[in-house]
Homo-oligomer: A and B are copies of this chain.
Amino acid sequence: MKLIMAVVQDQDSNRLMSALVDNNFRSTKLATTGGFLKSGNTTFMIGVEDVRVNKCLQIIRDNCKSRDQLMAPISPMGGNADSYIPYPVEVSVGGATVFVLPIDQFHQF
């Protein structure tokens, strides 16, 4: 068994949880605040049999990997038209920081 700790962005959290459940991975979520990733994030703790570690990593990458996204321009509230960008901009979203930890014992009571 391994314990996978994965820090992912909040916006990818529900999709990752669904994908883990669909693939019979059991996880728990820890409430986390800022840090590795820019906006709000969530840490998943996932107990994984050794032979399924790669599958789990693939699911995390597929659902959370850093990618560019077009963001519609937002009208500046109350002015400062100087800094207004009147066309969509590409921003980087998502991303995951993943630790695979060895474990000495695993128990379910």
Q: Is the CB of B5 within 8 A of A45?
A: yes
Q: Chain B residue with minimal CB distance to A3?
A: B99
In the complex, whether A98 has a CB less than 8 A from a CB of chain B is yes
Give A1-18 interface residues, CB cut-off 8 Å to B: 1-3, 5, 7, 17
Per-position binary interface string of chain A over residues 35-69, scored 1 when its CB falls under 8 Å from any chain B CB and 0 otherwise: 11100010101010000010001001100111000
Contacts of A65 in B (CB 8 A): 109
Contacts of A32 in B (CB 8 A): 28-31, 45
Q: Chain B residue with minimal CB distance to A54?
A: B105
Alpha-carbon distance between A96 and B27 when the two chains are bound, in angstroms: 13
Alpha-carbon distance between A3 and B1 when the two chains are bound, in angstroms: 16
